[in-house]
Amino acid sequence: MFDNIGGKLKTVAQVSTVIGMLASLVIGVTLAVLGMVPTGLIIAGVGCVCSWLASLTMYGLGELIDETARNREVNEKILACLTGAQPAASTAESAASTAESAAAPIAATQPPDTPVAPVSLPKKRLEDLVWRCSKCSSLNDVALTACRFCKKSRE
C-alpha cells in the first residue's frame, strides 16, 4: 500500500490538479451561463492557478522521495561493488547503517592468516549492475528493460 510512495504522491498531485481545474472551469462556466460572466471567468482562472499551485508541493515531495529511493539503491550497488558483497537484502535499511558498513574496513572481514588476494576486486562492475537512461539519466537495475521513471526502453 505504501510502496512507491513518491510515485503515488505525484500521481495524486496530478489527478487532484486536473480535478481542481475541471471543477473551477465547470463552476466558472456555470456562473457565466447564468449571467455572471466576469465572476465566472475569475473563478475559472483563479481556480485553475490555485489547483496547480497546490499540487506543486505534493509533486515536489513525491519527486524528492523518488530521488532519495533512487540514490539509496545506487548507493547500495556502489557499496556492493566496492566491497564485493551482495547488496543488502533489506532496502529499508537506514542511511546510518549503510554508512556504518561502508566505514567497516574490508580487511577486517578476513581472518589474519588467510592469504589475501592481490586486490579484492569488485565482483561486478557498476555497468553490469545498472544502466543509465538516455532520456532522464536515471540509473536502473539491469533486470529492467525500461526506465523505472520515464518508461523509456533501454537502448
Residues of the shown chain interacting with Zn ion in the complex, contacts defined by CB under 5 A: 133, 135-136, 138, 147, 149-150, 152
The CB-of-151 to Zn ion minimum distance in angstroms stands at 7
Give 123 or 135: the residue with its C-beta nearer to Zn ion: 135
List beta partners, residue 132: 139
Query: What is the spatial distance between Cα 56 and Cα 11, in angstroms, rounded to a whole number?
Result: 12
Q: Are 45 and 20 in contact (CB under 8 A)?
A: no
The CB-of-70 to Zn ion minimum distance in angstroms stands at 11
The CB-of-3 to Zn ion minimum distance in angstroms stands at 19
Give 23 or 130: the residue with its C-beta nearer to Zn ion: 130
The CB-of-18 to Zn ion minimum distance in angstroms stands at 23
Give 54 or 74: the residue with its C-beta nearer to Zn ion: 74
Query: What is the spatial distance between Cα 13 and Cα 7, in angstroms, rounded to a whole number?
Result: 10
- Beta-carbon contacts of residue 144 (< 8 Å; ≥ 6 apart): 154
Query: What is the spatial distance between Cα 130 and Cα 154, in angstroms, rounded to a whole number?
Result: 11
